[in-house]
Amino acid sequence: MIQVLLPGVFFGNWQLGDWKLLLQIFHRPLWQKSLENSLLLGVGTTLLGTLLGAALAAIRSSWSFPTAKLLDASVWLLLITPSFILAQGWVLFASGGGIAVQLFGWDWVKNAIFTPAGLIFMMTLSKFPFAYLSVHAALEWKVDQLSQAARLCGASAWTTWRTIHAPLLLPALLAGAALVFMDTIGDFGMPASIAAVYRFPTLPYSIYSAIYTSPIRFDMAGVLSFYLVALIGLAMMLQFYALKRSRYDFLTARASRSVPQSAGRFTPLLTALNLLFLLLVIGVPVGSNIVSSLLKTQGGGVTTDNLTLEHYRSLFSSASNLLTGLWHSLAIAGAAAILGLLIGLGVAYVLTYSRFQFKRSIEVFSIITLAVPGVVLGIGYIFVWNQKWLEPLGLLLYGTPWILVLAAIAGAIPVITRLMTGAMAKVPGNLLSAAQLQGDSFLNRMRYILLPLIRGALLSAGLAAFGASIFDLAVSSILFPPKFVTLPVAINKAFEDLNFGYASAATVTSSLIVILIILAIELLLRRKEASS
């Protein structure tokens, strides 16, 4: 963004820029269309994604049914799978001559998917997990006397939910909506992948075009990045305004952990609907990649003569970079999750319980990386961490794996902070104040009071940050050091080389490994929690 005011400052040129350039977005057709498309995509996806995620979280927390665990697994799978892979799956499915036509003869799918409404539909199916995790974490604890009092006064179960439980979930709903909005308008992978068959420029895609076309337009990238940040700031202001109007700290000593109840006669219906939903959100994009990974040639059709396992065998050959890239990405994501969790937890605590006058500024800085596409973040890191004066200080990070860790932490903090803020909003500050008056230390208050009450959100935030960091293509493509390949770079390189079968096989295999790691960690910590 500094390029707007001081273009070329990082190259020693201190000539002032023209701030009137910011107004050019209303006069240049591509810039204006990019802004309009991003707003349309962001608002539409936020509304539908938040409603879908909240509804699924409420159902999952209230009732138990045989396929409930599959819903949880699908949420994590969608979180860790990069948007460009999901988009590629939809392209393979819905494009002319794609799987929808070859297997089912559905010629109408192309005209339905490759439209603005179709893009909102696809984006909703990939972004709703943010709202799901936020609301599901908020539903971890319940205070029965509130609903019991309403029922004793004659309120129905629906009225009790609508007038008591739903309003108390507002912080979690707003936190989930903010994450959906920020991740949608900052998403580069899906619009870029769809651009191969449908032109729909967005702010991130136009920024990428400004940087990777000749001549390089840093001024254009700075202007469009400014509007991305402005949109995020506006969304945060609306969230702050809503949260200031009421109190949401409803937990008391009578709170108990929510346990899903049997759905009774509705169990078959919930099971069937859940399977149909999973078939849509996972079966179409992931299934299309699986089918693609089994085809000898993409143009050969889905026939027995065109099926092969050669792409999977090649993943484990000596010439493959998959295992090396996977190990590097796991190490970076693990470091980012742990360090980001510590920082995000501290930020959320300050935002929720402190009276620090600049805490809103801290929140803006804590979420700003979600407002800026990874391509811009990566180039900004090159400018900042490639300065000669940093070398004597040992901080010349460009060209080292540490810059990838730093970028991953920056990407993890916003997600963790949003989820932690929503969870802490339901914990009264007087619980911590009472312990402080009794002489308890800050660490003990965190350990014995706050952390047990938000343990579910803490686990969700850490695992979400871990999964999201593994497949960060934009930042990895720009910042990865020589001879230090990462998983998304290896997969994208295969796509660029038109080796779709190998790339799809690498995507399927690595996603399965990562999701198993996440589920194993969650199961281990849940069992440890239950035993304690």
**Strand segments (E) across 210-368:** 256-257, 261-262
pLDDT band at 113 (very low <50, low <70, confident <90, very high): confident
Quote the pLDDT of residue 298.
Answer: 65
Beta bridge mates, 142: 256
**What is the pLDDT averaged over residues 306-310?**
82
Beta bridge mates, 303: none
Quote the pLDDT of residue 464.
Answer: 78
Alpha-carbon span 3 to 365, nearest angstrom: 19
In order of 287, 301, 509, the CA distances from 313 in angstroms are: 19, 21, 11
pLDDT band at 475 (very low <50, low <70, confident <90, very high): confident
Q: Do 89 and 103 meet the contact criterion of CB atoms below 8 Å apart?
A: no
In order of 145, 207, 232, 458, the CA distances from 431 in angstroms are: 19, 47, 33, 19
Assess whether pLDDT exceeds 70 at residue 162: yes
Assess whether pLDDT exceeds 80 at residue 365: no
Element (H, E) at 131: helix 116-138
pLDDT band at 250 (very low <50, low <70, confident <90, very high): low
pLDDT band at 510 (very low <50, low <70, confident <90, very high): confident
The mean pLDDT value of the chain amounts to: 79
Element (H, E) at 205: helix 203-211
- 245 by Cβ neighbours in 10 Å (0-12 / 13-18 / 19+) ranks as exposed
Quote the pLDDT of residue 40.
Answer: 92
Q: 3-state SS of the chain: helix, strand, coil percent to 5?
A: 75, 0, 25
One-letter amino acid identity for 233?
A: G
Least confident among 135-149, 181-195, 330-344, 386-400: 135-149
Quote the pLDDT of residue 212.
Answer: 67
Quote the pLDDT of residue 299.
Answer: 66
Q: List, for residues 394-451, the tens digit of each pLDDT value.
A: 888 888 888 888 888 888 887 788 778 777 877 877 888 888 888 888 888 888 888 8
**What is the pLDDT averaged over residues 321-330?**
84
Quote the pLDDT of residue 369.
Answer: 62
Alpha-carbon span 84 to 473, nearest angstrom: 9
One-letter amino acid identity for 399?
A: G
One-letter amino acid identity for 464?
A: A
**Percentage of residues in the chain having pLDDT higher than 90:** 4
**What is the pLDDT averaged over residues 110-137?**
87
Handedness of CA 366, 370, 376, 378 (dihedral sign): positive
Most confident residue range from 140-149, 327-336, 431-440: 327-336
Alpha-carbon span 460 to 505, nearest angstrom: 28
**Percentage of residues in the chain having pLDDT higher than 70:** 85
Quote the pLDDT of residue 202.
Answer: 85
Which of these, 168, 163, 152, 172, lies nearest to 239 by C-alpha position? 172
**What is the pLDDT averaged over residues 487-498?**
76
Beta bridge mates, 63: 261
Quote the pLDDT of residue 141.
Answer: 65
Quote the pLDDT of residue 276.
Answer: 92
**What is the pLDDT averaged over residues 193-209?**
76
Alpha-carbon span 458 to 247, nearest angstrom: 22
For residue 260, whether the previous peptide bond is cis, meaning omega lies within 30 degrees of 0, is: no
Quote the pLDDT of residue 254.
Answer: 59
Q: Do 463 and 337 meet the contact criterion of CB atoms below 8 Å apart?
A: yes
Pairing mode of beta strands 261-262, 63-64: parallel
Q: List, for residues 262-299, the tens digit of each pLDDT value.
A: 777 888 888 889 899 988 898 888 888 888 788 777 66
Which of these, 243, 252, 248, lies nearest to 138 by C-alpha position? 248
Phi-psi region of 483 (alpha: psi -120 to 50; beta: other; left: phi over 0): left
Cβ within 8 Å of residue 6, ≥6 positions away: 13, 14, 15, 16, 17
Which of these, 432, 430, 429, 421, lies nearest to 454 by C-alpha position? 421
pLDDT band at 90 (very low <50, low <70, confident <90, very high): confident
In order of 303, 398, 532, the CA distances from 527 in angstroms are: 45, 41, 9
Quote the pLDDT of residue 439.
Answer: 83
Q: List, for residues 33-73, the tens digit of each pLDDT value.
A: 888 888 999 999 999 999 999 889 888 888 888 888 888 88
